[in-house]
Amino acid sequence: MSSMFRSAAQGGDSGGEHGGTYPDLPLPLTHGVGGIIGTTVYAGLGTAGQKFFALDLTQPNRVWTEVAAFPDPARDQAAAAVANGKLYVFGGIGKSTPEATTAVFHQVHVYDPGANTWAMLNTRVPREIAGGSAVTQGDRILLFGGVNRTIFDRYFEDMAAAGTDKDRRDTVTLAYFNQRPQDYRFSRDLQAYSPATNTWESLGVVPFAGRTGAALHLEGNILTVMNGELKPGLRTPAVHQGVVSPAGVTWRALPDLPPPAAGQVQEGLAGAYTGCSGGALLLAGGTNFPGSSAQFARGTLYAHQGLKKTWHTTVYALRGGRWSIAGQLPQAQGHGLSIQFGDEVLLIGGELPGGTASAKVISVQVKDGQLLTAR
């Protein structure tokens, strides 16, 4: 399929059921959370700190407005999903006080747009979800992936203890990154949370490696887990699909994500965007370290040592169990929010090359065999 990019400055329109262009966020946003309730998008946390913003997509002159701030310490890489008209936020990574070391949170918060209020629920995530993902299935929320709290917290405690001593900090860094993927104990648990009863259920352990930064998509009872990080700096191109039923989840492996171009290696992606358009499941953008899989295959556990983090523009499409390249994003980015709006996928914020955060909102849609984007 060919690719076409239309910018907002050119009066572009994504050509979809809703279509149009979208205003920039008031603040650059990466590693945040959000969701869509009705026709209003909510986004915040991450580089926005405790701030949250709303965008009513039905308004002819779309404008982001600030809503109630998150009530607890700011956090990155939380998971969020919408259920029964409210936004639920799980876990994340941050500091409980300015003096504290970085650590994994386990709380659950809920935002009520009708009252414009936040509340912390009387529960905690059974298996930490920092760096994981969440999707809504009916009246419950499914959560997958994330770091191991004990291992992750210990790394930051050791770094804090090393202070400004470079040799000690280098020793801590080497010890942390020079481990096998299984040593990080990234979560393999699929968890289900029911807001109506404030209860949790285990849907079992997945038959593939745990990961962080995976793209998660649910269509009906079909759950797709795409790529992600097997350990810090090492991604996987693997894709798995599960059928979620009352009897449990039945998994199968799908084809790996193909290379972005002939002669290149597909390292896999973390922080990629996902959603459906034109009858295809899309996976777009994301980050990796080219060369890391080769170094790991040669026995180098610190797989991304000396390599350069790379941000991507490729948009992949999955149809009938087969991947193809649908086109390119107008800019390389990852680690933002994916919002499904009709047949459009809205890419909200994200991390740009060099690690800076973006405030852009990009619409992606496949129509008549073309990838249309607008910003």
Any idea which residues carry the catalytic annotation?
Answer: 229
Distances (CA, A) of 353 to 33, 113, 184, 285, 313: 20, 34, 27, 11, 11
Rounded to whole angstroms, how far apart are CA atoms 338 and 80?
11
Which residues have a Cβ under 8 Å from the Cβ of 298 and sit 6 or more positions away? none
Rounded to whole angstroms, how far apart are CA atoms 36 and 57?
10
Rounded to whole angstroms, how far apart are CA atoms 238 and 20?
34
Rounded to whole angstroms, how far apart are CA atoms 141 and 120?
17
Q: Do 185 and 130 meet the contact criterion of CB atoms below 8 Å apart?
A: no
Which residues have a Cβ under 8 Å from the Cβ of 163 and sit 6 or more positions away? none
Q: Do 292 and 234 meet the contact criterion of CB atoms below 8 Å apart?
A: yes
Residue 164 phi/psi, 5-degree rounding, is: -100, 5
